[in-house]
Amino acid sequence: MRHTTIKDVAKRAGVSLKTVSRVINQEASVRTDTREKVERAIEALGYRPNLSARSLRSAHSYAIGLVYDNPNAHYVISMQDGVLSACRERGYGLQIHPCDSSVPELADELCTLVKRSRLAGLVLAPPMSEQPELIATLKAHDIAFVRIIAARKDPQDGSPCVYVDDRDAAYAITEHLIQLGHKRIGFLWGEPHHRSSPERYQGYADALKDYGIALNKKLVLPGRYAFDDGFRGARKLLALKEPPTAIFGSNDEIAAGVLAAARSAGLDVPWDLSIAGFEDNPFSKQAWPALTTARQSTSEIGRHAALRLMRELQQHDRDEHAATANEGFVPELVVRGSTAPPRNGGPRKD
């Protein structure tokens, strides 16, 4: 069966081959009605550009890389889906590159990856996106990139990024628990080298302070973004002479581990112990009771990061230097059955 070609698209749309090429390359010079006509033809014919040939015909590569180091499979898959959707929308290829963010030769590894695979640029997921030395090396080698970072506002540091306000979302979760009447609220950290961990802790600490509740360091434990750490951390907290009436896990895997520990201790969730997580991954929906959490659209974050990278590449090709605003996301509080007032009640702030 013959593959659809760019000539077929041009014929159906009634335009030149050059015009179709301009639409595929997202050039701004194409009139809106012409662009829409070509896009309808592409959709109707199911045309997909030959990325290898396309890259060889021009000085511009039409493939990008997604670089990550995260043990959370749901996060990785969602991020990949989001970046891939942007690539398909704009006619780019995608290379997935898992790596170890702790190795000293990471910068050399990524520079070699870009050169060897002829990538146009990189989408950097945390924690690589939050390593100043790595960012400086990529800039020195003139490698295009967009970072996904945890931050309350646009850092405006000259590096394009998509930022996620983990602090405010964690504040909303903690405030929800406080308003239910909880005063002894445990907090289980994720990896400290992920900026999301201290940002989520800061939201927790700020909410306690604003409601006049003293921060009890015995209720705060270090850990990783993992089920086992949630289970172990919860067992330690529940063994305290004055255990918490609620536990906030830094992600849903931790919270699911807390739920398992509560069940193993014979506790009735949410009445004996309220539990909250973060991210709204499948653990939060499949648990019983379902977990209160912060809904973080990881796929949308990935998609917007990839689109931002492609805009940067287009500006570079046109030798444009116009500043483009970075995009921010705030995870949304989702209240489910794992949180309720403590069994013996408690004070609330009006």
pLDDT tens-digit series, residues 169-228: 999 999 999 999 999 999 999 998 889 999 999 999 999 999 999 999 999 999 999 999
pLDDT, one tens digit per residue, over 329-348 is 999 999 999 999 998 643 34
Report the Cα 87 to chain-centroid distance in Å: 17
Alpha helices, H only, the chain = 6-13, 17-24, 32-45, 51-56, 73-90, 106-117, 132-140, 166-180, 196-210, 227-238, 252-264, 282-286, 298-317
pLDDT, average across residues 119-125: 94
Q: Which band of pLDDT confidence, cut at 50, 70 and 90, is reported for residue 35? A: confident
Half-sphere exposure of 235 (CA within 13 A, CB side): 9
In CATH, 6-48 is 1.10.260.40: yes
User: What pTM did the predictor assign?
Assistant: 0.78
pLDDT, average across residues 294-323: 81
What is residue 50's predicted lDDT score, i.e. its pLDDT? Answer: 56
Nearest 5°: the CA angle 274, 277, 280 is 130
Q: Which band of pLDDT confidence, cut at 50, 70 and 90, is reported for residue 38? A: confident
What is residue 57's predicted lDDT score, i.e. its pLDDT? Answer: 42
Q: Which residues share a beta bridge with 63?
A: 93
pLDDT, average across residues 9-16: 85
Q: Which residue did the predictor score with more confidence, 349 or 123? A: 123
**Which CATH topology does 59-165+297-331 take?**
Rossmann fold (3.40.50)
Cα distance between residue 229 and residue 23, in whole Å: 50
What is residue 188's predicted lDDT score, i.e. its pLDDT? Answer: 98
Minimum mean pLDDT range among 148-162, 199-213, 262-276: 148-162
Cα distance between residue 198 and residue 150, in whole Å: 9
Q: What percent of the chain has pLDDT over 70?
A: 88
Q: Which amino acid is at 250?
A: S
Cα end-to-end span (Å), the chain: 70
Cα distance between residue 152 and residue 32, in whole Å: 36
pLDDT, average across residues 249-259: 95
Cα distance between residue 170 and residue 178, in whole Å: 12
Q: What percent of the chain has pLDDT over 90?
A: 60
Minimum mean pLDDT range among 4-18, 110-124, 152-166, 294-308: 4-18
pLDDT, one tens digit per residue, over 56-114 is 444 456 789 999 987 677 888 999 999 999 998 888 899 999 998 888 899 999 999 99
**Separation in Å, CA 333 to CA 19, 25, 273, 336:** 46, 39, 19, 10
Question: Using only C-alpha atoms, what is the Rg of the chain?
Answer: 24
Q: Where are the domains of the chain?
A: 6-48, 59-165+297-331, 166-295
Average pLDDT, whole number, for the chain?
87
Domain pair 6-48 / 166-295, same fold: no
Q: Which CATH number is 166-295 given?
A: 3.40.50.2300
DSSP-assigned letter for residue 300: H
What is residue 316's predicted lDDT score, i.e. its pLDDT? Answer: 59
Q: Which residue did the predictor score with more confidence, 221 or 45? A: 221
**Separation in Å, CA 261 to CA 175, 237, 251, 264, 291:** 24, 10, 16, 5, 14
Q: Which residues share a beta bridge with 94?
A: 64
90 CB contacts (<8 Å, ≥6 apart)?
Answer: 26, 307, 310
Output the CA torsion sign for 208, 211, 212, 213.
negative
Two tokens at 295? Answer: 């809904």
The answer, yes or no, to whether residue 275 has pLDDT greater than 90, is yes
Cα distance between residue 334 and residue 15, in whole Å: 49
The answer, yes or no, to whether residue 155 has pLDDT greater than 80, is yes
133 burial level (CB within 10 Å; 0-12, 13-18, 19+): exposed
Cα distance between residue 74 and residue 251, in whole Å: 11
